Amino acid sequence: MSSIRTRLFIILIAATTCIWLFATAWIYFDTKRQLQHVLDTRLMEAARMVGSLVTSGEIALSARADQVSASIPLPEPTHVGYERQLSCQIWSFDGRLIGRSSGAPEAALSNETSGFSEQEVGGEPWRVYAFADRDRGIRVLVGDRLGLRDRLVTDLVRGLVLPAIVVVPLLAFLIWASVGSGLQPLRRLTQGLKARGPEDLSPVSVGHPPSEIRPVVEALNSLFGKVAAAREHERSFTAFAAHELRTPLAGLRTQVQVALAAKDAEIREGAMRQTLLAVDRTSRLVRQLLAMSELDAVPDEGEPQDIVVGRAIEDIAASLRTSHTDVAVEIDPALHHTTIRMNRELFHLAVRNLHENAVQHSPAGGRVRWFFDGSASPPVIAVEDEGPGIPEDEIGQVTDRFFRGRHRSAVGSGLGLAIVDAALKRAKASFVLRNRQDRCGLRAGFGLATADIPVGQVQHK
Amino acid sequence: MRILVVEDDAVLLDGLKVGLGIHGFTVDAVASCGDARAALATAEFDAIVLDLMLPDGSGLDILRELRRRQDATPILLLTAKDTVADRIGGLDTGADDYLGKPFDLDEVAARLRAISRRAAGRASPVLAWNGIELDPGRRTVEIDGKPVGLSRREFSILEALMRHPGAVLSKDQLADRLYGWEEDVESNAVEVHVHHLRVKIGRDAIETVRGLGYRLRSA
């Protein structure tokens, strides 16, 4: 029973039928009881009436038992099947049948002197009331057939059940139709969802959804909203990435064309050197784009590991060392005794980009220094360079993707600090970024919540 | 032809400077809006190559400022943003042409020649004066159908004079067109080049207007 409509229909029809049956049974039994009472009272009254008529002499009684017929007038039967409901006999105390109504049996209806009794007469059960008039020495018996009583009740109940049998299919149709129209908003929702294309992430509109469906519609719309936002983010990132790649590619192409066209060896060599620079920059940009999209795409970054900070930074710095930089890299010895708990990939991404950033913005012969600041809360691992720093009004923006401030380096992409920021957010570390106080330059690093540093392993010389 | 290139990417700027130089342009290169404004305030250019996204603003601002003061210098926009909407926006702001990155260096040179030709109201790409025909694209000079070999400087002087037939160009104006402002120019360099040019195309072709400069002798 997967269809709500079918299920509701069956439940409603079954419930209606049960209630109807129950009500019918109730009416049957109650009516039967009431009817007994009413008919008994009628028997009693009829007997008394006959008795009083006999007493007043308005009914002449025959002395002979066989001369009874038509002595008591009864109303003309109006309902076929219900005529001759009552039968009346008048007996003398000595056991002679003095009079009887037409159609009444000749056998005594009751042996009782007075009161109610039930008796089999002529193969039929009868209910009889006996009334004795001692002054006149007669006994009036008035009775009716129990079979007739039962038929009365049965007819009554049939009168109830027959319309029900006609009405139930009608009711079934109404239930089916109204359940269907009640489920209309749901069907509209389904059709709307089915009809939309994979690109369509607009909110679902179902007019005024009923309160039962509204949460579903709202949940759907909120989901659509989230998916659309993620899509948009991805799209703008891709657009930005394509855009950012165009300039270095244009530079590359131009330089290669210059190299090809140049007749002068010096110009050709210059173009080649520029080409090399452009290739370096472009490959770095591509690497950063990959890192960024990886940070975006992979939801789980794995378990944090213990990292000896000094050695890790040394390795990263060594891997980034190129022949055409003359920037001195210094690593605080305290870092060699500092172990942190952090995901290795994220640590690598953050440190690598911080280091690259520092080296790129350093002037020729500048110094880049990694150090540990245990006095800060939380403790900070940071790098300082001797570059131009970041204009104060741009500090808030440098973690935006593709933002390149006024103090841009020749090879910057505007992604480095954005990657650091994203990686640190993932690692639940805080990004510390400010201009140096002692001289121009930038201090960039990360603060680790103390929970990430194993107790007793942080030593600061 | 002296042109100004405004582009913030160092490698691309260098490539354009050297590459357009090879194509016979005299190139002044700047990397920001501020430098571009300074350059435009001090010198005249035959055309401008303008990047849109600059560190201190948008190239469109420069474009707007130029057009507002009725400066009709031909401008070629060079940008990574090259959706149809971007192109329309750029052209409607007053640019003469639009080229998306990455581009072909030869095409940049050709478009620069085209927009400066249109700006001068010439129909033919070949400059002609009294039997001298100069083709800026192929960089050839013919006199009465016979090719004449000119050095880069000589070619530039002749091109400048033929672009303004009958007008007098001062030595300084010619020096600007030859060297831009980055090169040291010997005080008599222009005179030396004009002298060599006269030897190759005929003594009477270029007339000295005493105290003012040079012009092409009218027929």
Quick one: what percent of chain B has pLDDT higher than 70? Answer: 97
pTM: 0.60
A387 Cα to chain B: minimum distance (Å): 18
Contacts A250 to B, Cβ<8 Å: 9, 12, 78, 80, 101-103
Query: Are B105 and A274 a contacting pair at CB < 8 A?
Result: no
Q: Which of A132-141, A198-207, A392-401, B106-115 has the highest mean pLDDT?
A: B106-115
Among the listed residues A349, A336, A350, the one whose alpha carbon sits nearest the alpha carbon of residue A308: A336
CB A349 within 8 A of CB A307: no
Among candidates A243, A246, A258 on the partner chain, residue whose Cβ is nearest the Cβ of B105: A258
- B contact set with A (CB within 8 A): 8-12, 14-16, 18-19, 22, 55-56, 78, 80-81, 100-106
B109 Cα to chain A: minimum distance (Å): 12
Task: Write out the two tokens for A454.
Answer: 């194993």
B90 Cα to chain A: minimum distance (Å): 17
- Which pLDDT value is given to residue B64? 94
Measured distance CA(B149)–CA(A291) in Å, rounded: 55
**How many CB atoms lie under 10 A from the CB of residue B200?**
15
- Please report where in the chains the tokens 């400048």 appear, as a residue: B160
Max Cα-Cα span within chain A: 163
β-strand pairing of B97-100 with B127-129:
unpaired
Measured distance CA(A151)–CA(A82) in Å, rounded: 9
B57 bridge partner residues: B54
Among the listed residues A80, A177, A91, the one whose alpha carbon sits nearest the alpha carbon of residue A136: A91
Q: For B104-123, b where at least 16 C-beta lie within 10 A, e where not — what string?
A: ebeebbebbbbbbbeeeeee
Considering only residues A459 and A118, tell me which one the structure prediction assigns the higher pLDDT. Answer: A118
Query: Are A250 and B103 a contacting pair at CB < 8 A?
Result: yes
Amino acid at A97: L
- pLDDT tops 60 at residue A29: yes
- pLDDT tops 90 at residue A246: no
- pLDDT tops 80 at residue A316: yes
Domains of chain A: 4-73+82-171 (3.30.450.20), 214-292 (1.10.287), 301-452 (3.30.565.10)
Report ipTM for this prediction: 0.79
Amino acid at A363: P
Which residues touch A410 (CB under 8 Å, ≥6 apart)? A277, A281, B10, B11
Chosen for mutation from B6, B8, B11, B32 (greatest number of chain A CBs closer than 10 Å) is B11
Measured distance CA(A137)–CA(A88) in Å, rounded: 17
A5: left (phi over 0), alpha (psi -120 to 50) or beta: alpha
Measured distance CA(A457)–CA(B135) in Å, rounded: 77
Secondary structure of residue A123 in the 3-state scheme? coil
Q: For B34-88, write each residue's pLDDT tens digit.
A: 999 999 998 889 899 999 888 888 899 999 999 999 998 999 998 887 788 888 9
Among the listed residues B108, B93, B217, the one whose alpha carbon sits nearest the alpha carbon of residue B162: B217
Contacts B106 to A, Cβ<8 Å: 257
- Which pLDDT value is given to residue A66? 45
Q: For A338-353, write each residue's pLDDT tens digit.
A: 888 888 888 888 999 9
Q: For B131-152, write each residue's pLDDT tens digit.
A: 888 888 888 888 888 898 888 8
Among candidates A258, A405, A408 on the partner chain, residue whose Cβ is nearest the Cβ of B18: A258
Mean local confidence (pLDDT), A322-335: 81
Give me the count of residues in chain A: 461
- Please report where in the chains the tokens 């229909």 appear, as a residue: A9
Domains of chain B: 2-120 (3.40.50.2300), 127-216 (1.10.10.10)
